[in-house]
Structure 1
Amino acid sequence: MTSKLKSSSSPSSRLSRNPTRLRKPPCFSANTTISSYDRTDPFTALNTLLKLFSSLSSRIGTCHLKLTPSEQKLSLHLLSIVEPFVGLAPCRRSITRQPTEILDAIAFHIDAPSDLLSLALSCKRLHDIVNPRHLSYRVVRCKPSSVSVWNHLATHRSLAQNVRYLIVIDERCSAGELKLPDGVLGTSDTDLESTDDGLGLHAKHERYMVSALARLSALNAFTWTCNHSPVAIDQIWRMLQRCKTLKEVQISDNLLFAGQVDATDSDDEVSTTTGGSAAARPSTALLGSNVRSVALRSTRHPYGAAKHPNLARVQGMLHQCPNLETLEIAYIPPKISMHTVPQLDELMLLGRWPRLTHLYLTDLRCSTLGLSALASFLSLHRALQVLHLDIAGPTANSLPCISLPPNTLPLLTEIKSNKRALLNALLVCPADAPRPLCTVRGLRLHGLGNNGNREEAVFLKNLKIHGRGIRRVELAAWTDLEDIRRLCTSLPSITWLDLANKAGVGSSLSCGNGKEGLGGKTSTSSAGAASAPVVNAIEWANVLTLLPELTTVHGMRFFYEVAAASSAASIPASSTSAPAANAAAMSMGDRSRMRKNDEVASTLAWKCPRLRRVDHWEGGGEKVIVLLKDGDRVRWEVRKVKQ
């Protein structure tokens, strides 16, 4: 009996009587060091959590199904690693939990500074990444002598690749026009810029600039407006060739229009640098095939200007841009005399850009043989939509008739030309489908008393027959009111009319911008004439009646100046809308002018029912007068123009 009791109490007998009872799993001991878990490895974090929670049931005593403080802190950290990768709602916070390298790469693909600023303001972590490394590097505006900037970009490759827009300004510009990266000095007297030799200093500027350009691997736009520096634009072309992301190039330099012979014959003797004379430099500029927009202009400064300019350098540079979409070539004659105008013949004969949509040619000339090349160029570029041709013919003031092949410029929507022969040729050119031409700029109406009356009559007849789709007309000059009447009779579908300058009269408001004389200042005579409104407002209203769809008129002032309205731009300058206190503070003269303005507004609204916008009495172009209808009454308000 005793043996049976002993045998039944043995462990093996108890296990044989309850074979389904398993042993408790061993307690799991997790590593509670938070730094040992990688935030980019959610699988390890999830496995650790599973093991930790499974071991809670094996604990005995007071620790059963409980976590220690260190384990609880570890579990929260592991949940923060797993959380961005599971569920829908947590994914919205996943970008801020990414590593710094990934966030920096995301900011790298944002080009616009405004978008970068919005990203930086989203949270503190993104601000700490975007602000020091991207926001101040997107646009860099400096001088060729900013050696500290060039050395900084050449030294820090990761920061130089964040530059998208590089603008090299003239040495004579003020320090307020600079835009430099944070913490980088502009033109301070540092060890990099100190030298005893003036020519060696310019060579140092060029060397640092070239080394910095080699680091700008993601540059999108390059602007060169430095025309008064021995560092020539030719020295940096080979570095721009390496930038495969470059899409926009703007150059303002007289050296562009100086050939290999004329470059050394400029008006200033400082056209040579330590790198050799301009004649020894390469005349062709190599750019990538990704360039979409090129603007090449000269300046009015005599520095570097050639007496016999040509387009050899321009043609060599454009030859390397097969995918060009926008092209602008503008030659501005220098202030000194005895200078000719570049000839356009060879460029029109050899230049072919199938994707070209915008073409602007200013102050160039074309020979008699070059007219056929110009016609062939226009016929082959069928994608052109905007065409501005300010060119001179074989003689100074005339351009012979041009014969365009059929279906020339089928997609043209806007044309500007100082020669009526080109407009005539385009109007009479046959086409399978009507052209979407809606804007004509640069028209000149000579009046009845001139020798070009017959030519103008033919032109107006062609406008009446072939210009039914034209909605906007901007005149360059006109003689009297009868010229406007004939134009309105030929094109009754005009909705926007810009009268610009009257022949023999000073400047006036044109297209919302005040015309300026040489030097950027408006003459006193033109400013005095601009303040006085037209006397024959009723006659003008009768002429504008011929345009039933007219909504905007520029270049003619119909309203008198009112001091109370001009002193407070936010208050509508109208007798029907101005407060009684403001009207009581007006002088008798202002009240009289207000009544006259009300009469003019009523007349214009009666004669032209759709007319809404006319010029303000000030010539700055910052304000306009808007006509509003309030039932049977008409009121006018002064509003600012959005620039």
Structure 2
Amino acid sequence: MLILYLPPEIIDQIVFLVEKPRDLLALALTCSTLSNVVIPYHIDYRDIRSPLRSNLWDHLIHRNDLANRISRLFVHDDPELHGLIPFPRLVDRNEDYENESKDRILLRVCDALSLMKNLVSLDWELEPPLSELNPETTILVENVWPTIKSSTSLRHLHLPYPAPWIRKYNVLSNPLWLIANLTSLTLDNIPPPLYPFPPAPCIASLLRHSPRLEKLCLNATSSLGTLPDIPLPCLRRLIFRTCIRDQEPLSLSPCPSLSRFLETHPSLESVEWLDSFPALLDDHTLPSLRHIYGRDSRNGVENILNTSLHQRRPIESLGQLRLSPMLFAALSNIQPHSLRKVDISHFPTIEDIVRLADMFPAITWLRVPAIDYRNEFSAVTTRTILTAEWPDALSRFQDLEVFHGVSFFLEPTQCEENLHRAEYLHSICPRLREVDHWDNESSAILELFPIDVPGGACVDAPGFRMALKERDIEDLDDRYAWREPFD
């Protein structure tokens, strides 16, 4: 029987079982009948990003069938995002709630959350954050946290740490610290350990209730002091950031709790840190490690790579590397053909890029800082580097597909010259498909690819035809952003 001959409610249930947005879109494109069901009632409700002050909540309270279809919910307080990010077209946009108290709005949000029986991911990022609510309010303890805790389908949770100076938010009986069965947890604005109510016991309680956690991200306002020593046998990814205040000196010593945490979680495949960094680890630590992103100026990456495993590590990606003789010695502990993705923050000379290519010929993704290397005051290199020096270095990366950081192209009006430059890059890196645009401040990058059909803006070359395509990027920060290995 054709699906279109089924009753509408059966069609609706079948569509509900399709989880991935791209599969939903493919289904919607088959015919207008399915499009009229899939797009407004399913695609629009799987992934929602809404401001806190919105009539979305009343809409969902009255349409619990649509609330049931929400899988991912992002709550924010940025009015500039309203209308630019996913939001159901069936909901009228108005500003009737601008003058309403945050407590009353939160009560409606709780009512709507309680109807989302299939909610998998909840990201809660508000400005001002929840910690700036009236200290006497009971909305968080009596409504918000219990509602989130009661969601049996929730697996990913992203929250700001609530009011560290208020005792009732920090007692272990608070429903927030009893949320269970998560596979991904992100906590922002974690207070220092010397507050009247230190965060460590509360975070430890959260971790104990989610023993099958796979991803943990902790963003602290200063040195966290200690990581909860909780066994998480399924943990694959750790992100540990400490945002040092301007008046606080940067620590030049490694973080013992981070080192201990890494040594006691052999299942980790990806490790990222900011400011804090691990010490030299025990032998045979992190046998499953594949991705390292160490944003510090010390030797945290070297400390991990120099751990003895009696064999080279199969590392696939490295982020924010500061190339140096000490680092190259540590990089020799990586399998030459395993490394595919490298993000460099500092390199003394272009010869260091060449040496990297010779050590790891299978690199497909490379980023260097997007600056003018002819400027002798640049802190990224120890000497000026001309644009003409890059092609010889890039020609060593025969598997390179993506290269960010050096502007090879002119303004779009000079299309013919750009095509010749693309043709040349393709000749030295035959797999290259994405490079920087002509301007470091542009919100676009350039894709280059050979085409088999005539037409369009292209030039002839022996054996292939080259074309250029400009791709816009909404967020300039995403242009050079590290692409997370598991996302």
TM > 0.5 between the two?
yes
Alignment partner of 2:236 out of 357, 370, 378:
357
Q: Judging changes above 3 Å, is the alpha-carbon distance between structure 1 residues 504 and 132 closer, same or farther for their aligned structure 2 residues?
A: closer
Distance 1:633 1:160 in 2: 55
> 1:292: Cα distance to partner?
2.3
> 1:141: Cα distance to partner?
3.4
Range moving further from structure 2, 355-364 or 179-188 = 179-188
SS of residue paired to 1:176: coil
Please show how residues 152-301 of structure 1 align to structure 2 within 5 Å.
Answer: 152-170=59-77, 172-173=79-80, 175-177=82-84, 181=88, 183-189=90-96, 201-228=101-128, 235-251=143-159, 253=160, 255-256=161-162, 258-259=163-164, 261=165, 282=174, 284-289=176-181, 291-298=182-189
SS of residue paired to 2:319: strand
Q: Deviations over 1:168-220 (max 9, x none)?
A: 2206446424755565444454xxx699xx6xx33322222222222211212
Q: Deviations over 1:468-507 (max 9, x none)?
A: 243432211234435445545655664543222569998x
Please show how residues 554-593 of structure 1 align to structure 2 within 5 Å.
Answer: 554-557=404-407, 559=408, 561=410, 564-566=413-415, 573-574=418-419
> 1:156: Cα distance to partner?
4.1
Q: Judging changes above 3 Å, is the alpha-carbon distance between structure 1 residues 171 and 632 closer, same or farther for their aligned structure 2 residues?
A: closer
Q: Which residue of 2 aligns with 1:382?
A: 266
Q: 1:572, 1:638 within 8 Å by CA — same for their partners in 2?
A: no
Distance 2:463 2:216 in 1: 49
Distance 2:365 2:262 in 1: 27
SS of residue paired to 2:177: coil
Q: Which residue of 1 aligns with 2:288?
A: 411
Matched to 1:429, the amino acid is T
Residue 370 (structure 2) pairs with residue 462 (structure 1): no
Q: Which residue of 1 aligns with 2:480?
A: none
> 1:112: Cα distance to partner?
4.0
Q: Which residue of 2 aligns with 1:578?
A: none
Distance 2:424 2:275 in 1: 41
Matched to 1:324, the amino acid is L
Distance 1:292 1:224 in 2: 17
Q: Which residue of 1 aligns with 2:481?
A: none
Distance 1:563 1:118 in 2: 34
Distance 1:542 1:194 in 2: 58
Q: Which residue of 2 aligns with 1:640?
A: 470
In proportion to residue count, which structure has more helix?
1
Matched to 1:222, the amino acid is L
Q: Judging changes above 3 Å, is the alpha-carbon distance between structure 1 residues 432 and 119 closer, same or farther for their aligned structure 2 residues?
A: same
Q: Which residue of 2 aligns with 1:319?
A: 208
Please show how residues 499-578 of structure 1 align to structure 2 within 5 Å.
Answer: 499-500=368-369, 535=386, 537=388, 539-543=389-393, 553-557=403-407, 559=408, 561=410, 564-566=413-415, 573-574=418-419
Question: Matched residue pairs, number?
Answer: 439
SS of residue paired to 2:118: coil
Distance 1:391 1:382 in 2: 23
Q: 1:627, 1:636 within 8 Å by CA — same for their partners in 2?
A: yes
Q: Which residue of 2 aligns with 1:343?
A: 224
Matched to 2:261, the amino acid is F
> 1:345: Cα distance to partner?
1.6
Identity level (%):
23
SS of residue paired to 1:378: helix
Q: Judging changes above 3 Å, is the alpha-carbon distance between structure 1 residues 138 and 372 closer, same or farther for their aligned structure 2 residues?
A: closer
Matched to 2:186, the amino acid is A
Q: 1:479, 1:502 within 8 Å by CA — same for their partners in 2?
A: no
In proportion to residue count, which structure has more strand?
2
Distance 1:97 1:127 in 2: 15
Q: Judging changes above 3 Å, is the alpha-carbon distance between structure 1 residues 133 and 503 closer, same or farther for their aligned structure 2 residues?
A: closer
Q: Judging changes above 3 Å, is the alpha-carbon distance between structure 1 residues 364 and 493 closer, same or farther for their aligned structure 2 residues?
A: same
Q: Judging changes above 3 Å, is the alpha-carbon distance between structure 1 residues 642 and 356 closer, same or farther for their aligned structure 2 residues?
A: farther
Distance 1:178 1:637 in 2: 31
Distance 2:41 2:353 in 1: 58
Matched to 1:242, the amino acid is S
Distance 2:395 2:28 in 1: 55
Distance 1:561 1:224 in 2: 42
Matched to 1:149, the amino acid is L
Residue 362 (structure 2) pairs with residue 473 (structure 1): no
Q: Judging changes above 3 Å, is the alpha-carbon distance between structure 1 residues 376 and 473 closer, same or farther for their aligned structure 2 residues?
A: same
TM-score, normalised relative to structure 1: 0.56
Distance 1:121 1:630 in 2: 36
Distance 1:635 1:210 in 2: 57
SS of residue paired to 1:250: strand
Matched to 1:460, the amino acid is F
Residue 348 (structure 2) pairs with residue 498 (structure 1): no
Distance 1:546 1:104 in 2: 54
Matched to 2:61, the amino acid is A
SS of residue paired to 1:425: helix
Q: Deviations over 1:56-89 (max 9, x none)?
A: xxxxxxxxxxxxxxxxxxxxxxxxxxxxxxxxxx
Q: Judging changes above 3 Å, is the alpha-carbon distance between structure 1 residues 138 and 369 closer, same or farther for their aligned structure 2 residues?
A: same
Q: Which consecutive unaligned segments of at least 5 residues does structure 1 have?
A: 1-91, 265-276, 332-339, 394-398, 446-455, 507-524, 527-532, 576-596
Q: Judging changes above 3 Å, is the alpha-carbon distance between structure 1 residues 564 and 212 closer, same or farther for their aligned structure 2 residues?
A: closer
> 1:226: Cα distance to partner?
1.6
Distance 2:81 2:316 in 1: 42
Structure 1 or 2, whichever has the larger Rg, is 1
Residue 218 (structure 2) pairs with residue 329 (structure 1): yes
Q: 1:574, 1:635 within 8 Å by CA — same for their partners in 2?
A: no
Q: Judging changes above 3 Å, is the alpha-carbon distance between structure 1 residues 294 and 610 closer, same or farther for their aligned structure 2 residues?
A: same
Q: 2:192, 2:225 within 8 Å by CA — same for their partners in 1?
A: no
SS of residue paired to 2:419: coil
Q: Which consecutive unaligned segments of at least 5 residues does structure 2 have?
A: 134-138, 245-249, 379-383, 451-458, 474-487
Matched to 1:640, the amino acid is E
Distance 1:438 1:423 in 2: 14
Distance 1:128 1:536 in 2: 52
Q: Judging changes above 3 Å, is the alpha-carbon distance between structure 1 residues 433 and 124 closer, same or farther for their aligned structure 2 residues?
A: same
Q: 1:601, 1:634 within 8 Å by CA — same for their partners in 2?
A: no
Matched to 2:215, the amino acid is T
Distance 1:609 1:209 in 2: 52
Q: Deviations over 1:420-468 (max 9, x none)?
A: 53322222222255432122111114xxxxxxxxxx4333223235452
Q: Deviations over 1:270-326 (max 9, x none)?
A: xxxxxxx8668938433331x322333359xxxx99996964454443432222222
Q: Judging changes above 3 Å, is the alpha-carbon distance between structure 1 residues 345 and 246 closer, same or farther for their aligned structure 2 residues?
A: same
> 1:410: Cα distance to partner?
2.0
Q: Judging changes above 3 Å, is the alpha-carbon distance between structure 1 residues 371 and 640 closer, same or farther for their aligned structure 2 residues?
A: same
Distance 1:371 1:305 in 2: 14
Q: Deviations over 1:340-381 (max 9, x none)?
A: 61415233xx23321122222223689899844433322332
